[in-house]
Amino acid sequence: MTFTVAVAGATGYAGGEVLRLLSGHPLLTVGALTAHSRAGRPLGETQRHLPALAERRTVPTSPKALAGHDAVVMALPHGRSAELAAALDPGTVVVDCGADFRLRDADAWERFYGTPHAGSWPYGLPELPGAREALRGARRIAVPGCYPTAVTLALFPAYAGALVEPEAVVVAAGGTSGAGRSADARLSGSEVMGSMSPYGVGGTHRHTPELVQNLSALAGEPVAVSFTPTLAPMPRGILATCSARLREGVAPAAVRESYAEALAGEEFVRLLPEGVWPSTAAVLGSNTALVQVAVDGATRRLIAVAAVDNLTKGTAGGALQCLNLALGLPEAQGLPANGVAP
């Protein structure tokens, strides 16, 4: 049995990655392709890496265009998914790559996004405790943000295992595709090449409340998160360096054992051998997160580093991983565990 999947926002970076993965999936077929400003144009004008779909024309994004599919993946700007999703058949699987349904705290949503809270859906990070059970058969799924995917996978064994105190410091470097496809002078080659710069400093980045939500749920108590993202001169990838102080009585030697136990059996999260550190190049185009952990003995701080491709495991790959679960398919079907090199 095959399932048809419509993609809303097919001309953006996230939409293009969703289509790349859908094209290689043995049981999912590409349905309607919708767009906004590029509606009516051949997909090949923007997604030149998808020759098999190049002649397909996009249509305006509307409930009518998305109706009649087994599933819809929404790769739309934040704030655009809620109204559209409300108009779709409740039996259709809707996977939202935007932020509209990630946050459970309405006040946090309104403070960081400035619009009324639309509610929350099951959170699409299958590796978290209890998440797979919630995603199997789900009709509505909220895909995590790209930074929260990397940071949460780096730190969840530490908080789920009560290894660290409820305060984390995160500095993460991300590629330019994370900002989307819209023209922005700050993302031009002249501004980005040979340069790194911070943004969203001082707790202002929109992914901060999502990080707080995830880590607090794992810890069973409020966790304070200091998050500083930086823009790196690369098109895709995230390298997240996270630290938190070990709790009293936790032996540094127990940390790696706890991580190995927590990540055992996970197909798309790999704890690297001791002394080997994650790199963004190693996860390019893959749905795999690479993780390493160590303890700074002088400060008793746990240091966890994770690398993901922000467009694959951080967005589209995570979406298809959840879609597989929702449709009753093998979770890893159609998803690349290996990256591309050089």
Torsions phi, psi for 42 (to 5 deg): -60, 140
Smallest Cα–Cα separation from 340: which of 287, 297, 303, 300?
287
**Residues across the chain:** 342
Q: How many CB atoms lie within 10 A of CB 62?
A: 14
Note if 97 is an active site residue.
no
Kindly list the distances between the CA atom of residue 324 and the CA atoms of 80, 268, 329, in Å, as whole numbers in the listed order: 24, 14, 5
Residues 6+ apart with CB under 8 A from 139: 90, 91, 92, 93, 94, 326
Distance CA 97, CA 81 (A): 9
**Which is catalytic among the residues 97, 146, 242, 322?**
146
Q: What is the dihedral of CA 114, 72, 52, 39, to 10 degrees?
A: -50
Which residues form the catalytic set?
Answer: 146
